[in-house]
Chains A and B, each alone.
Chain A
Amino acid sequence: MTLVLGLVTLVGLIGFALKSLGDLLVSNRPKGLTFTALLVGLLLLIFVVGGASLSEIVSGRKMERVLEMLGTVFLSVFVCVGVWVLLNLFVAQMARGWRIFSAILGAVLGAGFFGLLRGNRSVLPIFAEEDPFELLSGGGWLGRAEWPVIGALLFGVAFAAIAAAPNKQVRAAIGVVAGIVAGALLANYVKLWHRPAIDWVETLIATAVVGGIGAAIGVRKNALVRYALLGAGLGFAFGAWALAPFGRTIDAPWIAAIVPMVLIMAGIGWGSVPTERERAQLESRAQAAVFLAPALIFLTIALVVPAIRTGILSFKDRDSELFVGLDNYTELFTAENSFDTSNWADMFTSRLFFVAMVLVVIGVLVGLITGIRRNGSASYESGPTSVGALLLAVFLFSFAALSVLRGTFFNNLWWVLTVVSVATALGLAIAVLADRATFGEKAAKSLIFMPMAISFVGASIVWRLQYQARDIRKNQTGVLNAVWVELGRLSNSGAPRIMIMIVLAGLLALGLLRIVRRVQADQPFTLAAITTFSIGWLLYRFAGPRLGGFQTVNGETLPDTVLFLTERPFNNVFLMIILIWMQVGFAMVIFSAAIKAVPAEFIEAAEVDGATESQTFFNVTLPTILPTVGVVVTTMIVQVTKVFDIVSVAGGGGKFGNNVLANQMFDESFNIGNIGFGATIAMVMFAMVLPVMIYNILNMQKGAA
């Protein structure tokens, strides 16, 4: 069948393509060209997805498979569209054809309800011996149509009669009769081991509770009896069927089936038929619901249900069998590898800490000097250099802290802090610089943006190759180690070492000179200071302890490699660089657009006032694009919190002290098989990004308003 459908679809598609091609030839409309290209592309795509190579398409092999697939696609699209159109037509009956609407509604509900029971094999076949639908029962699901058909007839007639009846007493009576019939039918045919042994106390409590809720809703809706009846019916059904030991009990199911059916049907009957106006109102609301339905259903299936299920699983044990309360959460938060603070005191002896201290001193000093110059008194005056130095100091302090604190949570925090701040700062810097570039802006931006197009796994593999080390007796194949080892070899050699030292000394002198000049000119010199410091350090290493470590193998002294991916704690940072590399492009593109949107008058006004470029940036451009910075930062926080692929692929599966939450979640769920614990980590990650998400959504709504 699908084969024929596929053929028809193919012929149709080709027809469309030919027709639009004809249109194109006749009227030369560019729209036709796009359409044709799209159709041809779609056709090719279908073939490729269907598993046919180009030669196979041409020669017609695998045609059947492709046709079958096309047919399936067509059928499912057609069914979906059909259902949706029918639903629209159906809802459109509300205002004018209330009885037809009621009948169809009853029929659909009845067919669905009975079909569900039959589909779950909860009920026996009614016409076991003589199947009046034998014509249909040739094969497949049609043979089980008896229950849905009976349900459709029964409830369709009942709903239609209720809609047609003159007053609520008659309507309720019709409902009761229908309820008895349906209940009796179910009671008689429900399978032996699906019959409940009713616990009367529980059932009555459930009836009272749900009935009470129904009554409360009913009071608000001005239909007390109706909602109370509906609630009581549902409560009774729940109490009798769900709370009772459900299995091979031999209790007569009559009460359990008939009572709730009668209550619910009477509830449906009792109450007034909606007036014309109410129905029109109902119709417009229902139509909105029908239009929303596809998206809502999709979201529910793909997002809401899994999320809720994960939440439930997080309270269960490793096999998702028993509820364990908060055990998983306590375990996660008390586990040694979640928060490991055992080495925290090392923070104060780390080099990062000293550099940060020095930066603080520089920042404060520069601020004070500026203050004395400007105001003549000993006050702190902020400027780019002092603020830059202080910000860098804060960043380094956090680095120092997070490099000694271990565990997945601290690692994740480190990731978020580093990647978000560095990627944002770099993105902003590049956007500003590119904006001022006189040529090559597009090319540069494209290049920087390109890593965004690479998959995480791909980028991780590429970088793993850069970081790779080999045994020191062999040539290094990783770029970074090749450079490092070669530098090490040079620093340990004779003449080349001296030459390099001379060059470095020259560079150092130049750098120092530049710093002095910039200080004299009262310009920021952070960049110059960092460069000069790096050169000085390199010179020191060349002159003193040489570059890198050395190992003696078989009497030969060889420069050691850097194990970028295993040496704790900075292997974490080398992994972060991969993500920064990927995210800078994203930040840059967004900032670029925002900067271009800053009104030119602002800038001009600042220039007229005699502001320097950095003053213009910090006092005009940055405040204007601040909302964009917020969006970029929050988006990235969410992204980085979820980081998984990089650690999994390049980080040895998180085994080198570089584990993060997402990787631990994967490991627990799919390698170790502790589903409950994995779900718990997922929930905690969700909770971590939730405030950021809420902030983002609120911001968006503010923007829309």
Chain B
Amino acid sequence: MKSTWIRLLAVVFSLALVAAACGSDTGTADTSGADDAAASLEAAQQAAEDAEARAAEAEDRAAEAEKAAEEAAMADDSEPAAAPASDRLVVTVSGPERSDAEAGALNAALEEFGNANGIAIVYKGSANWEADINIQLEAGSNPDISIFPQPGKLADFARDGRVLALPDEITEAVSANWTDSVMDFGNVDGTQFGVPNKNDLKSLVWYQPARFEAAGYTIPETLDELWALSDTMIADGNTPWCIGIESGQATGWAFTDWVEDMMLRTTTPENYDAWTTGELPFSSPEVTSAMETVLGEWNKPGAVFAAGGSIATTAFQANGEPLVNGDCMMHRQASFFSSFFPEGTPAADGTEGAVDVFYFPEGSTGRPVLGSGTLAGAFEDRPEVWAVMEYFGSPEYANARQVAQETLKRGDSETVVLSGFNTANLGADASLWHPLEQSFVGILQGAEVLRFDGSDLMPADVGAGTFWSEGTAMVNGDKSVADAAAAIDASWPS
């Protein structure tokens, strides 16, 4: 009995060995129909890797041949000059956007331009963009253009001399399409390096126009009007705000957004910048008064509906439903919040129960907008690269991408849907957007001061650490503003 088992095993093993010897690695590449795309991609990557390996070998051989002239060999770094075989110009672009809709729309917009100008433009999104771009630059395999999600990285690269400054004529052409405030994101020490191409915004108040109309409220134009409106609502027996800052490990970020918006409205943009870089401490009167203003409004009796019992325990996502139910009248949150309303809630279409946004009113400091923006930066100095850079900053790009992204998002829907792509490009044709997003684009275009989310700009110890935790303690009433501000300042890395 036992020997049969062993024999059977032996047969299986030997068969396996024979199979191993006969089969080839490429056999796995042409398997299923469904996985074809992935397989061919893999094959392409394999090919690319092989090519790289061969290039490295070639390099080795070159080094070997030039052993006599070692100095020269040393000066010659890597850079396997892989000029494309065809004479068509090629521009490669990388960036962090990689969802089907976003990357697809980006590619479509680039293709439109490329086809018209005889350039093959390839966009490749990477989930790990930040790490990848470092490695690629280190290895010399960088793309021609990369899209930076925030200005800090671009500034680092610009100061290292890795990103190239825009030629004057490109700066001129691009800056015609954007307000100075947006252009400034890509400006490092007085030189323009980045081309803005996409924006998001946070300075929004969500509300239901029908309820405002029924109660006779008007949209406030200034901060004072907003506070007055809130008082009127309380007096009328309505609750002005829905607020919740719980978000798991990130609990507190919704509070920091409020504080940032308040900073932009109660003090100068210069102070805001100084605050995000650590020059203006949290315990300075500018910052504490901004925080006190926020907490003062929140702690006003009857001012806040907290679905989870208290502001600190209410999940930030849980504010959509009470706003629609009428438990509160307003909710300040970024543009992405449209996806947190109950299923089927209409947006900005004038129907009863539809939600809409208005601009979080300006204070004494111009018309500030808290938001973000991506910037294109170039690593290679070729005419076709600069042509693509200029295109990124043009209204044509904004419109082409909006059309493509909206089409991709729309699916079977008959009406215009939210595309998720917003821009502050002054030449963008707002009529291409969903009515709700038209408001976004309008607010972005009208921004006199555009600033990034401050907590993203601060060191992570503060921006993703104490600003959240001490902020939560302040909201919860566990700490006074002064104590919390001192604790945040103490945690700022020296």
Nearest CB of chain B from residue A244's CB, rounded to whole Å: 17
B contact residues around A473 at 8 Å (CB): 327
Confirm or deny: A553 has a beta carbon within 8 angstroms of a beta carbon on chain B: yes
CB distance from B307 to the nearest CB of A (A): 6
Interface string of A73-92 (1 = CB under 8 A from B): 01100100000000000000
Chain B 262-307 interface residues, beta-carbon cutoff 8 Å to A: 302, 305-307
B465 and A671 form a contact (CB under 8 A): yes
Interchain CB contact under 8 A, B20 and A75: yes
Q: Is A471 an interface residue (CB 8 A)?
A: yes
Q: Which of A556-579 contact B (CB under 8 A)?
A: 561, 563, 565-566, 568
The 7 lowest CB-CB distance pairs between A and B, nearest first, are A469-B309, A1-B23, A653-B249, A4-B19, A12-B12, A655-B251, A655-B472
Residues from chain A with a CB closer than 8 A to the CB of B94 are none
CB distance from B342 to the nearest CB of A (A): 16
Instruction: For the complex, give the distance between the alpha carbons of A193 and B71 in Å.
Output: 11
A553: chain B residues at CB < 8 Å are 302
Q: Provide a sorted-by-A list of 23 A–B residue pairs whose CB atoms are within 8 angstroms.
A: A2-B23, A12-B8, A15-B8, A16-B8, A65-B32, A125-B57, A139-B25, A139-B50, A140-B25, A471-B308, A554-B302, A563-B309, A563-B310, A566-B313, A648-B248, A652-B248, A652-B313, A655-B312, A655-B469, A656-B312, A666-B249, A667-B465, A671-B249
Taking CB atoms and an 8 Å cut-off, the chain B residues in 449-494 that contact chain A are: 460-461, 464-465, 468-469, 472-473, 476, 478, 487, 490, 493
Contact B60 A653 (CB under 8 A): no
B44 at the interface (CB under 8 A from A): no
Q: Do A64 and B32 contact each other (CB < 8 Å), given the known contacts A128-B61, A653-B248? A: yes
Contact A655 B252 (CB under 8 A): yes
Contact A469 B472, beta carbon cutoff 8 Å:
no
Interface: B144 (CB within 8 A): no
A134 at the interface (CB under 8 A from B): no
CA distance A15 to B9 in the complex (A): 11
Contacts of A674 in B (CB 8 A): 460-461
Complex partner residue of A3 from B8, B23, B461, CB under 8 angstroms: B23
Docked complex: B1-31 residues within 8 A CB-CB of A: 8, 12-13, 15-16, 19-20, 22-25, 27-28, 31
Please report the total number of B residues contacting A with Cβ < 8 Å.
Answer: 58
Residues of B within 8 A of A (CB): 8, 12-13, 15-16, 19-20, 22-25, 27-28, 31-32, 35, 50, 56-57, 60-61, 63-64, 70-71, 73-74, 237, 246, 248-252, 302, 305-310, 312-313, 322, 327, 460-461, 464-465, 468-469, 472-473, 476, 478, 487, 490, 493
Closest CB in chain A relative to B303 CB, distance in Å? 12
- Asked whether A649 is an interface residue with its Cβ less than 8 Å from the other chain, the reply is yes
Q: Pick from A75, A78, A192, A561: contact of B309, CB below 8 A.
A: A561
Point out the residues of chain A lying under 8 angstroms from B16, CB to CB.
5, 8-9, 74-75, 78
- In the complex, A554→B235 CA distance in Å? 9
Taking CB atoms, residues of chain A closer than 8 Å to B73 are 192
Complex CA–CA separation, A13 to B63 (angstroms) = 53
Q: Are B472 and A652 in contact (CB under 8 A)?
A: yes
Residue-wise interface mask of A (121-153) relative to B, using a CB-CB cutoff of 8 A (1 in contact, 0 not): 100110010000000000110000000000000
Q: Does A283 contact B (CB under 8 A)?
A: no
Within A296-339, which residues are at the interface with B (CB < 8 Å)? 318, 336
Q: Closest Cβ of chain B: how far from A442's Cβ, in Å?
A: 39
Contact B309 A672 (CB under 8 A): no
Contacts of B63 in A (CB 8 A): 124, 191-192
Q: Chain A contacts of B24 at CB under 8 A?
A: 1
Does A486 reach chain B (CB closer than 8 Å)?
A: no
Which one of A2, A248, A469 contacts B28 once the chains associate, using CB atoms below 8 Å?
A: A2
Q: How far is it, in angstroms, between the C-alpha of A9 and the C-alpha of B8 when the chains are bound?
A: 12
Residue A412 lies at the interface, judged by CB distance under 8 Å to chain B: no
A75 to B478, CA, bound (A): 59
| Chain B residues with CB under 8 A of A125 | 57, 60
A435 within 8 A of B: no
A residues in contact with B249, CB < 8 Å: 648, 653, 666-667, 671
Q: How distant is the Cα of A565 from the Cα of B472 in the complex, in angstroms?
A: 13
Chain A residues, Cβ within 8 Å of B60: 124-125, 128, 191
A468 on the B face (CB < 8 A): yes
The docked-state distance in angstroms from the alpha carbon of A473 to that of B307 is 10
